[in-house]
Structure 1
Amino acid sequence: MTEDQRGPANLTEFVRVRGTELRRYGFVLTGDLDEGNDLVQEALIRLSDAWPRVRSKDDPEGFVRVTMVRLHISRWRRRRRERLVAVVPDTAISDADIERLNGDPGLWRMLATLPPRQRAVLVLRYYEDLADEDIAGRIGVSRNTVRSLAARGLAKLRTQTFDAVHDLGSV
């Protein structure tokens, strides 16, 4: 196998080729463009330390994505409590590429209301199309916890959808 067939020869080339997709993944995972960019940056820093080992296994993107999920969950664990702010931030989606690719910005706004672990499970299940076992391995929980988080997240999304439709009917 030649070097070109194995993938990018250096970290700079990898970031140039996959950077935009990793930013989208960070946004979908966190529900916040800036926080998603921070995840990408931190994961790429860790990738730079491990580049020779990761590149030889031909899966730098998998390494970065798993690192992003783990970093996201670690951050969530550190910030379990809500932080009160003087002004509520605008939660509208600003990444036009995601809106174009996925069509329904309302879906992303609804996902942003979920707790981070529920959102991560749903993103990995439906956006990444991973099986429960793979999700459990990526986020470090049991398969049953993945199923429970997915069920609770979907139930909350269903409730939000029902409420939104009901509100439209009463206008």
Structure 2
Amino acid sequence: MAGPRIEFSEFMAARWTPLYRTAYLLTGDRHEAEDLLQGALARTCVRWDGIRDKRAADAYVRQAMVHDLTSRWRRRGREIATDELPDAGHGGGLDVRADHLALWEEIRRLPPRMRATLVLRYVEDLTEEATARELGCSIGSVKSQTHHALKRLRAALPELRLVEEMS
């Protein structure tokens, strides 16, 4: 029994940072991201012995986060908008930082499903097929959500050069 616990602890220690980044990008809030990730990791820990391919554990945790977040969005009925921006931090590249903040603010304004699609496609670098599996929808829905999300971002931030869509 100690073997699987140690294995899970090692997985969690090694993958916390990238999984937290995904949770933060999905929620836009540090505390909500921590709660989301901790809940997903708790569910993963309970099912750890049943995950045959441990290389797929990241996908299992991401899918748990997306499902949990989707349930939260459904319970709320709609997204609650906020005027808060992430901490600006310090350092060089102020124009790049300003562009990043402007882009992040617009991404946070997207409907939750569009935001989740962009995070999975362009931050997690998942294929359309993998994104569809994680979101529990069709590939066509992923394509549509991506198209409409990028269209909104381009309209809101015409000065930024955003990624081109690929078929």
Other-structure match for 2:24: 27
| 1:110 maps to 2:103 | no
Unaligned runs of 5+ in 2: 161-167
> TM-score under structure 2 normalisation?
0.76
| 1:91 maps to 2:91 | no
2-structure distance, mates of 1:10, 1:126: 29
Other-structure match for 1:74: 71
Partner SS state of residue 47, structure 2? helix
Q: Aligned letter for 2:87? A: S
Unaligned runs of 5+ in 1: 166-171
Equivalences for 1:7-156 in 2 at 5 Å?
A: 9-54=6-51, 56-58=52-54, 59-81=56-78, 89-94=82-87, 104-156=100-152
1-structure distance, mates of 2:88, 2:44: 25
Percentage of pairs with the same residue: 38
CA change 1:18–1:158 in 2 (3 A) is same
> TM-score under structure 1 normalisation?
0.75
User: Runs of at least 4 residues of structure 1 off by over 3 A?
Assistant: none
Q: Aligned letter for 2:16? A: G
Deviations 1:20-61 (A, max 9, x none): 22111101122222221111011011011101122x422322
The structure having more radius of gyration, on CA atoms, is 1
